[in-house]
Structure 1
Amino acid sequence: MKLIDSLTRYISFFTAFIMAALVVLVVYDATLRYLFSEGSTALQELQWHFFDVVILLSIAYTLKHNAHVRVDIFYDKFSRKKQLTVNLLAYIFFILPFAFLIIYISLSFVEMSFAQNEASSDPGGLPYRWIVKSLIPLSFGLVVLQTIKEIVTDFQEWRSL
């Protein structure tokens, strides 16, 4: 379980670095466009790709820190055992099936992109779009790992109550 938490933590460091690079890219691109009337399709697409990295690779981290969206109006009033029961049911019946479905569907999507050597359709755009698309099954694989870790730890706590 510590291995999964460590993996999620290290990936969060990577996404924080990508987020900082994204901020620099946006400032650079805005400066070029507004002060020098210069623009780059590749630079704009790189910003979108960095944003994809941040969003997709942060899902497991969000789950780890229990920062995901929930209807807290009811959840906060539950006892700790009921909260853990809701968590376990959500993990088993919603998050895991959804994550496996996304992985299953996205693998052929990535495979087709790789086989076609998909690139941007815009002139001056970036090649190798399959790299960004491969983040979809990767990120949901990380969600599966983090969900399994959460199931184990929440079940242990639930049993001890």
Structure 2
Amino acid sequence: MSSEAVSSEVAPEELLPPRPLAVTIKVIDTFGDWVGKTLAWLVIPLMAGLVIEVFSRYLFNNPMVWVYEMTFMIYGGMFMLGAAYTLLKKMHIRTDIFYERFSVRWQGIVDGSLYIVIFFPGLIFLFDASWGQAMHSFHLREVSEASPWAPPLWPMKMAIPIGTALLLVQGFSELLKCWWAVKRGTWL
């Protein structure tokens, strides 16, 4: 080996992120993965409710009005609370006509910039607005008027700020990954 080849090689330790960075990302990603996989189980009562409603409506001509509200509440909760899992798994919509051709460093710069300029400010605004609405609903003991069941609305409304908070935390992990991509030219 020539001396140039040896000097340009990077020690494996230098390719690894610092332990606090790696631990922070691992904890956030593990929690986000657990939340997403736990929420996936809500598909079972969601589907059971829909099947019961279809049989009740079309076989017995006796629709159950509470099932509609239950299923949209479950789905709404899954949608909001599962957004962080979707971000973790990189399943959100991305327009990558040019992005995929960028180097890893430029991808990190673009992603990191968008997190800082659009993602975090937008979600902080959403959290603030939705928290106020959820707390207002809780204090009023607001119920749905769409059916005689009249379920409380605050749990569904509370899913918005909780899901937003989870998304903000996962976004922080993604921002750290962007920083590493810019610094080292490789994704974690």
Please classify the TM superposition score into its range, dividing by the shorter chain length. over 0.9
Match of 2:106 in 1: 82
Structure 1 runs of 4+ with >3 Å offset: none
Match of 1:148 in 2: 172
Give the drift of 1:57.
1.2
Match of 2:20 in 1: none
Match of 2:86 in 1: 62
Give the drift of 1:119.
0.6
Match of 2:153 in 1: 129
Match of 1:110 in 2: 134
**Structure-2 separation of matches of 1:100 and 1:148:** 12
Q: Conserved in 1, the CA contact under 8 Å of 2:115 and 2:171?
A: yes
Q: Does 1:4 align with 2:45?
A: no
**Structure-2 separation of matches of 1:43 and 1:158:** 49
Give the drift of 1:108.
1.2
Q: Conserved in 1, the CA contact under 8 Å of 2:33 and 2:88?
A: no
Q: Letter of the aligned partner of 1:91 in structure 2?
A: Y
Once structures 1 and 2 are overlaid, which stretch shifts more, 94-103 or 36-45?
Answer: 36-45
Once structures 1 and 2 are overlaid, which stretch shifts more, 13-22 or 129-138?
Answer: 13-22
Larger Rg belongs to: 2
Structure 1 residues 8-87: aligned runs within 5 Å: 8-87=32-111
Structure 2: gaps spanning 5 or more residues: 1-24
Q: Conserved in 2, the CA contact under 8 Å of 1:40 and 1:124?
A: no
Structure 1: gaps spanning 5 or more residues: none
Length-normalised TM-score, structure 2: 0.81
Q: Conserved in 2, the CA contact under 8 Å of 1:18 and 1:53?
A: no
**Structure-1 separation of matches of 2:150 and 2:37:** 25
**Structure-2 separation of matches of 1:11 and 1:39:** 33
Show CA shifts across 1:51-106 (max 9, x none): 11111111111111111112111211212211111110111111111110000111
Over the aligned positions, Cα root-mean-square deviation in angstroms equals: 1.2
How many matched pairs?
A: 161
Secondary structure of the residue aligned to 1:124 is coil
Length-normalised TM-score, structure 1: 0.94
